[in-house]
Structure 1
Amino acid sequence: MAAHRARRWSLGGLVLLLSTAVAAAFALITTGPSADRADAAPAALTWSDEFNGAAGSAPDASKWTLETGGSGNGNHELQYYRNSRDNAALDGNGNLVITARKNTDTGLQCWYGTCQYTSARLNTAKTFTQAYGHFEARIKVPRGQGMWPAFWMLGNDLGTAGWPNSGEIDIMENVGHEPGTVHGTIHGPGYSGGSGVGAAYTLPGGKSFADDFHVFAVDWSPQSITWSVDGTAYQTRTPADVGGNKWVYDHPFFLILNLAVGGDWPGSPNAGTAFPQTMTIDYVRVSATGGDSGNGGTTRTGAIKGIGGMCVDVAGASSADETPIQLHNCTGVDAQKWTLGSDGTVRALGKCLDVRAASTADGAPVQLYTCNGTKAQRWAYTSAHDLTNIGADKCLDAVGNSSADGTRLQIWTCTGAANQKWTVG
């Protein structure tokens, strides 16, 4: 598994983040773990690159930043990352091709001296981040000892929190000496590097990933991350899997594509490794699933119904701050019309569903309050029909498991009970 390496961020990437304000994107999700991507809710695309363009053209600079340098990235990698079309360019057939080559420029210096190889690493730190959703890419990996292609993500607070506190989600890594196997891993405080938490997926019948394109994906929700290959899920990780350490997957991450050469995990190329080697990417797509496709997939509006078919209601139809939220017979009034927004808010009467005093305790009441952008007002709606508060990591809950008119709502540890299940629209 990817625990064989120490870290994946580079000094250049860290400086980039320290000097860049990275925008948080979509917090609304309506997906969760599934056995097969085909069973998931319809995807509402939030970002993509199809790599359509003329052969030899550079990757879209409005979407990708190419990193540079030969620091070894903490793993004793051998390549120098260049911002060059020799190492990253479109092929004219709808693909991005990252090419690792033997270096001929004696002026390129790596951590060990004159660089032996060049390659490319691209990220979206300046241009796109997102918390939660479905992230996938269709990729054909290179082959040969010493090759190390990856599709992965880092937290947008890397420049302030540092690694591994900012979190890392490795969607796909392959090392050349395991041609039929890929790895999916998370790294965070107390479970990074050699202690990363993950699993491997191996193709049946002795096939190699370099023989064809494959789709690598994660479905990420507040309570879990599920990895899949070609639509088949092979592992799910939850906060229970990180040994009591902090689950740091509660904020936006940015995307990374790279092809490393050598390093502590894959080892160096040998005489049987041919160059150049290529990592070919057909597309990268990100979605917040289950959205209203008529509005870009970023919002949903309607009644929120819970236990007994009762509606989530603003008490007295008041728009005053601190108005309690309750269950009520569904009447279709504005006090029962909620909008789940792309920013993770749940709104009615022009204000936000809020956890009183930003509490994270079981039993903390929810209320209507002026929208202020805090985590107490950010919610994630999952395919399990939980409505989870991001700040507390707890579920919207009807007090006392009651469906009576006037039953107040609160947050509570997610149990899967009927009084925590909600439908929208």
Structure 2
Amino acid sequence: MASHRKRRWSLGGLVLTLTTALVGAALVSANDAVAPRAGAATAAQTWSDEFDGPAGRGPDAAKWTLETGGGGFGNHELEYYTNSTSNASLDGQGHLVITAKKNTDPGLGCWYGQCQYTSARLNTARTFTQAYGRFEARIKIPRGQGVWPAFWMLGNDLGSAGWPNSGEIDVMENIGREPNSVHGTIHGPGYSGAGGLGAAYSLPGGKAFADDFHVFSVDWSPNSIVWSVDGTPYETRTPADTHGNKWVFDHPFFVILNLAVGGDWPGSPDGSTAFPQTMVVDYVRASTSGGGPAASGPIRGIGGMCADVAGGSSADRTPIQLHNCTGNAAQQWTVGNDGTVRALGKCLDVAGGSTEAGAVVQLYTCNGTNAQKWTYTAAHDLTNVGANKCLDAKDGSSADGTRLQTWTCNGTAAQKWTVG
């Protein structure tokens, strides 16, 4: 199953070419894609590619980066990924076609010598990242021993945190020797590679996934990731599944499509494998889940100061204050679809669940109470659901170290916040 394979990226390719883009732009795309709004009850699409365009045109460069190389990508894969339209192009009928084929260029070198195959691998690291929501794609996968199509995601901090600390969500993987099954898996620190957390889904009646299009999706919230095929959920993972290891699915991720050939998990093609093989993608879409859009990044308030976890401590009851913006982890917040506002793996909390004006706010272990549920409104208020009061800078001060509290909403600058 999916947990048998190793990492899916290479320092020689993705990380070194995209680190600056990830640091500078990773939090921008999802936040700009949809304006915050109060009380949203339905999902809102934040990004998509429907692959409309003339036959033979390459993937939209404003949405996708084509990776190149034949280093094996940590799995001893056999293909060389190219940026050629012979390996990734539109078909003129609303599809992206990723083609794996035998290599005819003697100048292409792979980790094992002259490359035997070429294919394509696309990512959105430069152009789109998002924390939480629904990610789905409608795909007709290839068939054959040794072929390995995938629709998956990596954390936007890959360049700084490294794999698996940045996290990996495999929405769909298939290995050709299992034509009836696909796999959904997560990888993180202490549960990666052979220890990845995953499950398989098999089509009823022994049907093959390569026979038709199917919709593969995850619904991702701060407390769970749910995998579905054609609208049927088949796997759920929560922080409890990591058995004390860090749950790293609390920040934006980017999307990847690729068709590998060979590798440690699927094995090599054999005499039964016909080439070329194609992975046909009808669409890729991302949306928010019900409950409003997710946003990530600093929370800036009065005087341009940032909401900050005092001392960068993740201990329960750590005060939340204003501080000069530094960009460190103590100032990186995620406003989730479930109403939580999180930093350092814990939740923004009204002390004691108080509903009184002037109650201090703190960092606390997430527990699902209304003291930890917030609504980010179109007016840029952060309103606590339990108290029906606004996050407020005490005494309207913008001084470094000003304690944050809840207060009756009054529309003043002390209660206006910008996320991201």
TM-score bin, normalised by smaller chain? 0.7 to 0.9
Amino acid corresponding to residue 389 of structure 1 in structure 2: R
* Residues 152, 257 of structure 2: 8 Å contact kept: yes
CA distance in 2 between counterparts of 1:271 and 1:363 reads 63
Residue 365 in 1 paired to residue 319 in 2? yes
Amino acid corresponding to residue 94 of structure 2 in structure 1: G
Post-superposition Cα deviations, 1:267-321, rounded to whole Å, max 9, x if no partner, equal: 12222222111101111112233477xxxx67xxxxxxxxxxxxxxxxxxxxxxx
* Residues 153, 170 of structure 1: 8 Å contact kept: yes
**Correspondent of 1:412 among 364, 370, 384:** 364
Matching residue of 2:65: 65
Stretches of structure 1 that go unaligned for 5 or more consecutive residues are 29-39, 299-340
Q: In the TM superposition, what are the counterparts of 1:25-424 in structure 2 within 5 Å? A: 25=27, 41-290=41-290, 343=297, 345=299, 353-367=307-321, 373-385=327-339, 387-391=340-344, 393-422=345-374
**Normalised TM-score (structure 2):** 0.78
Q: Tell me the matched-pair count.
A: 366
Change (3 A) 1:397 1:342: closer
Q: Structure 1 stretch 261-270 or stretch 369-378: which is displaced more?
A: 369-378
RMSD, aligned CA: 2.8
* Residues 169, 186 of structure 1: 8 Å contact kept: yes
CA distance in 1 between counterparts of 2:287 and 2:52 reads 19
Post-superposition Cα deviations, 1:188-221, rounded to whole Å, max 9, x if no partner, equal: 2222211111111222221221122112122223
**Normalised TM-score (structure 1):** 0.77
* Residues 94, 282 of structure 1: 8 Å contact kept: yes
* Residues 297, 331 of structure 2: 8 Å contact kept: no
Q: Structure 1 stretch 188-197 or stretch 398-407: which is displaced more?
A: 398-407
Post-superposition Cα deviations, 1:154-188, rounded to whole Å, max 9, x if no partner, equal: 22332333322322221110011111211111222
Post-superposition Cα deviations, 1:119-161, rounded to whole Å, max 9, x if no partner, equal: 1111122222223332221111111111100011222332333
Amino acid corresponding to residue 218 of structure 2 in structure 1: V
* Residues 376, 389 of structure 1: 8 Å contact kept: no
CA distance in 1 between counterparts of 2:27 and 2:253 reads 9
* Residues 346, 377 of structure 1: 8 Å contact kept: no
CA distance in 2 between counterparts of 1:388 and 1:398 reads 12
Amino acid corresponding to residue 362 of structure 1 in structure 2: D
Change (3 A) 1:13 1:382: closer
Change (3 A) 1:231 1:377: farther
Change (3 A) 1:41 1:246: same
* Residues 44, 291 of structure 1: 8 Å contact kept: no
Residue 14 in 1 paired to residue 15 in 2? yes
Identity between Structure 1 and Structure 2 (%): 67
CA distance in 2 between counterparts of 1:349 and 1:16 reads 36
Matching residue of 2:381: none
* Residues 289, 337 of structure 2: 8 Å contact kept: no
| SS of equivalent residue, structure 1 residue 366 | strand
Post-superposition Cα deviations, 1:380-402, rounded to whole Å, max 9, x if no partner, equal: 444544x23223x2233333334
Post-superposition Cα deviations, 1:226-267, rounded to whole Å, max 9, x if no partner, equal: 222222222222232223223222333222110011112111
Amino acid corresponding to residue 239 of structure 1 in structure 2: P
Change (3 A) 1:73 1:287: same
Post-superposition Cα deviations, 1:70-90, rounded to whole Å, max 9, x if no partner, equal: 222222222111111111000
